[in-house]
Structure 1
């Protein structure tokens, strides 16, 4: 995912800086305005980017969930060599059949937490991509990085004001495989004659796991979700998530941050669901990306049982689900779950 945090717009536009004291208050905040601004950006981009029905597969490699490690230079273009580290997850979702995509980054480190979101839109007229970035602390979308991919390497540029002077900004996507890629951001204060890297991100995921322990553990947890949902048991449902889990519903632009928020939301929601509705999950893909970490994709159908007990249940709604499972407290739990409505 794309790195710019734009923490202090006037003085540090595009700079990779966090203010831990200010960020502490937004550790679990998902700014509703951020999604509203992104929605507006999508509409504006659509007018220019979709004069035809062109599609470009450049970013297809990134679709799905990844583990992320970030190294950030604290004070770019200052001569300092102080770096801070973050680790977490990245989830990238295709939009408009891949003609755009939305990426969400959640990483933590000693310097604080970064909750970021990137919007990438392909312009078939120019053959280039535009990458916009925002974060939960700000809630507004930055200027686009513009560029594309050649021979498996992506280059994107723009010009911003940093510390009162114009600098060129460069993104480089490289080392792209089915299970890894690298993203570097660099600044240039001399019109591109030299570059200083200030954000280095590496992403990893393993290839599809077989039907062994990984798949079995995923299937067991997803079955437990079904059982808790069908019993309308909100505390049991929430217990299947980590304390700091995030659950995102893309059909209604809702984000639940933390186990308590998930429990409270479903305590309110479950009594409103009629008894004839049931929850059916199926695991479709499992990737072991690190020790004790699984990235699991699947489907969920909400079915309605008919009055005739011999009749097959009717599918009411269907969803695609991407999730990150972690082994915590001697049990597997969901750390991250993204629910997308199926067409």
Structure 2
């Protein structure tokens, strides 16, 4: 239930995303961000705000733990759209890697989204987003965040 406690606090975030989230050959673009996360419900909830100063937008992630199913639901909201995106759902494995999956749309296409949390230490973590348009046969990793504690 305390899987996201590592994220509490302030972070500098180095971002890389593809210029086309569905094209694995598109160029990578790099930009900074700052994230602030807090713990709630005795570790069963986590909320963070991330600000992308050079992109002039921000986002919020709400993470909620379901003790009955022993899994997390992660909800993303963007300042650009003012909407809450469908959740990705999953858990952390014995190896400390968290994998979360959900259905969504991107650029008018149905996609399967995957978030992966890995490389978690006291002072660093890595998050990756990938999309599949073919029922998880192939994935395009399209956004990577490298977190460094402030």
| Class of the TM-score when normalised by the shorter of the 2 chains | over 0.9
Partner of residue 9, structure 2: 64
Match of 2:138 among 194, 201, 212: 194
Higher-RCO chain (CA-CA 8 Å, sequence separation at least 6): 2
- For the pair shown, which has the larger CA radius of gyration, 1 or 2? 1
Partner SS for 1:97: helix
Q: Structure 1 residues 88, 79: closer, same or farther in 2, change over 3 A? A: closer
Partner of residue 136, structure 1: 79
- Structure 2: unaligned runs, 5 residues or longer: none
Partner of residue 111, structure 2: 167
- Structure 1: unaligned runs, 5 residues or longer: 1-55, 206-288, 290-343
Aligned-partner Cα distance in 2 for 1:70–1:198: 11
Partner SS for 1:61: helix
Partner SS for 1:89: strand
Instruction: Note the alpha carbon deviations across 1:307-337, whole angstroms, 9 max, x for none.
Output: xxxxxxxxxxxxxxxxxxxxxxxxxxxxxxx
Question: 1:66 Cα deviation (Å)?
Answer: 0.8
Aligned-partner Cα distance in 2 for 1:77–1:119: 25
Looking at secondary structure, tell me which structure has more strand per residue.
2
Q: Structure 1 residues 161, 135: closer, same or farther in 2, change over 3 A? A: closer
Aligned-partner Cα distance in 2 for 1:201–1:96: 26
Structural RMSD (CA): 1.4
Q: Structure 1 residues 144, 79: closer, same or farther in 2, change over 3 A? A: closer
Matches within 5 A, 1:65-144: 65-78=10-23, 80-109=25-54, 112-144=55-87
- Using structure 1 for the length normalisation, give the TM-score: 0.42
Aligned-partner Cα distance in 1 for 2:117–2:17: 16
Aligned-partner Cα distance in 2 for 1:162–1:107: 20
- Using structure 2 for the length normalisation, give the TM-score: 0.92
Aligned-partner Cα distance in 2 for 1:139–1:165: 20
Residues paired across the two proteins, number: 149
